[in-house]
Amino acid sequence: MLIATSLTHARPLTTAAASTSFYSSRLVPQPPDLIKWVRREAGFVHQSIKIAQLEEGSSGFGLGLVAAEKIPKGSDLISLPRHIPLKFEAADAEDGAHSALVNLARNVPEELWAMKLGLKLLQERAKAGSFWWPYISNLPETYSVPIFFPGEDIKNLQYAPLLYQVNKRCRFLLDFEKLVKYELEGLKANDHPFGGQDVDSSSLGWAMSAVSSRAFRLYGSKHPNGTHIDAPMMLPLIDMCNHSFNPNAEIVQEQEPNNEKMLVKVIARTQIMQDDPLVLNYGFLNNDFFLLDYGFVMNPNPYDCVELKYDPALLDAASMAAGISSPNFSSPSSWQQEILFQLNLRGENSDLKVSLGGSELVEGRLLAALRVLLSTDKAAVESNDLNTLKSLSAEAPLGISNEVAALRTIIAVCVIALGHFPTKIMEDESLLKQGVAATTELAIQFRIQKKSVIVDAMRDLTRRVKELMSKESVTAQ
Ligand SMILES: C[S@@+](CC[C@H](N)C(=O)[O-])C[C@H]1O[C@@H](n2cnc3c(N)ncnc32)[C@H](O)[C@@H]1O
């Protein structure tokens, strides 16, 4: 827990303990009216938009923007002038506190970009009289991202790639807390980015999660050649919109004709009916990203996938279990090795992560490797280009029995992958029915989705095998 200092020019950065129900409270009990603030700052908000508590449902929970009456397609919904978005710009006016902040940001790895902007958010949160206080005070007090899950619920995710990411973020926050303390020790209040206040891993985690769950990547400042640099920024009020893969609103960035100012707007992509929430598409993301960055799981999610390791010994075992004689994944011939190099599945810098599910169903590199390694016909393999070998819609490029063997091997890999989850979908569903804590519920929903991806892939591949077999028997007659 943080101990707020008694400095009068600073606001306390204390973070509340994670609550069992999310989305309930904001940083202060009755924050200022965000719509009024945006209008006062020369922004535009459509007269029929209001902030409301959303019902649990397809478009999510928490607060959201809702249409008070029908809004025609193409209408401007919100527009923000340039000074409203919150950005981190290293080139901002130099003062001691800013350069200390820039210094800290240099120690944040690129993939955790949300922490950089999070430092700026923490600075503004600590500053009494911050221009952004009306916005910041409206931010949620807690986030449902897994870095705040109790240890038991991190385990409840049951999925190693996500556990790895969660642990990495937690480790980073603990190390960064030490570094921040070390760097800021002894700084004069004026040079201190957080007004002299101590910052710990939970307040850093709060800021990183506030940014990862609410920032948008838009064009930022200009390169000398006139092109714009992509920059994450927090967009007050616009970030009250929840996510949908079928959005009724979208963000556009416009340049005002007579001056250089970038204007961020939200427009109605479709007609919006009375009482409908305004929803944006945060991206065609898998559930790992939704949970890690935003703290929710999409169900269903056609973009969800399962990550596996390309492991020759596992593939040998899987194909034997599938009844395929003499698989040689572990000892490919030299021409097969060459293709594995081209697929980046062999060699020093190989990438052995392959995926199942999502729009591709079976990652092309895995499919091509199986087709090639299950074939003894070098000439037939060489008569196909790599893209054909990688494509599931290219029907049996190396013959029907080769294709059946490849697909059966993947089905067996799926069976093995499912066996690695300690519980079955039915057990998960009955746990959910019994009622569990909010973090447990999220972890269980996440793992049900992962298992469903595998089950759906098995179903689709089994159907393909049946079709191929019936073709083969027709040809044989
Ligand atoms: C950009 S904010 C949207 C405003 C947010 N509902 C609030 O109360 O401030 C993103 C957060 O909203 C929630 N959210 C957005 N879309 C969602 C969805 N489709 N299902 C569940 N939660 C969603 C998640 O908590 C996410 O981190």
CA of 279 to the centre of ligand 1 (A): 10
Rounded Cα distance between 155 and 440, Å, is 10
In 10 A of CB 56, how many CB atoms? 8
CA of 329 to the centre of ligand 1 (A): 45
In 10 A of CB 440, how many CB atoms? 18
Q: In what side-by-side order are the strands of the sheet with 249-255? A: 44-45, 76-80, 262-268, 249-255
User: What ipTM, to 2 d.p.?
Assistant: 1.00
Per-domain residue ranges of the chain: 34-283, 305-476
| Atom of ligand 1 lying closest to residue 244 CA | 19
CATH topology for the 34-283 domain = set domain protein methyltransferase, domain 1 (3.90.1410)
Contact between 397 and 368 under an 8 Å Cβ cutoff? The reply is no
pLDDT in tens, the chain (477 residues): 232 233 344 566 766 544 444 445 899 999 999 999 999 999 999 999 999 998 775 444 799 999 999 999 999 999 999 999 999 987 766 777 788 999 999 999 999 999 999 999 999 999 999 999 999 999 999 999 999 999 999 999 999 999 999 999 999 999 999 999 999 998 888 899 999 999 999 999 999 999 999 999 887 767 777 777 788 999 999 999 999 999 999 999 877 666 566 689 999 999 999 999 999 999 999 999 999 999 999 999 999 999 999 999 999 999 999 998 777 899 999 999 999 999 999 999 999 999 999 989 999 999 999 999 999 999 999 999 999 999 999 989 999 999 999 999 999 999 999 999 999 999 999 999 999 999 999 999 999 999 999 999 999 999 999 999 988 766 655
Q: What is the pLDDT of residue 219?
A: 77
Question: How many Cα atoms within 13 Å fall on the side-chain side of residue 299?
Answer: 18
The residue written with tokens 């929430």 in the block is 277
Q: Give residues (CB < 6 A) around ligand 1.
A: 23, 59-64, 140, 213-214, 239-240, 242-243, 294-296
Superfamily of domain 305-476: Rubisco LSMT, substrate-binding domain (3.90.1420.10)
CA of 243 to the centre of ligand 1 (A): 7
Q: What is the pLDDT of residue 4?
A: 29
Name which residue sits closest to atom 22 of ligand 1, judged by CA. Answer: 60
Please give the helix or strand (H or E) that residue 262 lies within, else none. strand 262-268
Name which residue sits closest to atom 12 of ligand 1, judged by CA. Answer: 242
Q: For residue 353, give the amino acid letter.
A: K
Question: Do 34-283 and 305-476 agree at the fold level?
Answer: no
CA of 385 to the centre of ligand 1 (A): 44
Q: What is the pLDDT of residue 261?
A: 67
The residue written with tokens 């490029």 in the block is 397
Q: For residue 266, give the amino acid letter.
A: V
